[in-house]
Amino acid sequence: MPNPIHLTPAQTEALIQSLAQQLHCDPNTLRQQLQSGNISGIANSMGGDAARQVQQLLKNPQQLQQAMNSPEMKELLRRIQGQK
Q: What are the pLDDT digits (tens) for 7-66?
A: 778 888 888 888 778 777 788 888 888 778 777 777 777 667 777 777 777 777 787 778
The H or E element that residue 51 is part of is helix 48-59
Residues 57/63, Cβ–Cβ less than 8 Å:
yes
The H or E element that residue 9 is part of is helix 9-23
**Residue 1 pLDDT level (bands cut at 50, 70, 90):** very low
2 domain residue, yes or no: no
CA distance linking residue 76 with residue 56, whole number of Å: 21
37 domain residue, yes or no: yes
73 domain residue, yes or no: yes
- Compute the 3-state secondary structure of the chain and give helix, strand, coil in percent, each to the nearest 5: 75, 0, 25
Instruction: Show the domain range for 20.
Output: 9-80
53 domain residue, yes or no: yes
41 domain residue, yes or no: yes
**Number of domains within the chain:** 1
3 domain residue, yes or no: no
Report which of 59, 61, 64 is spatially closest to residue 1, judged by C-alpha positions: 61
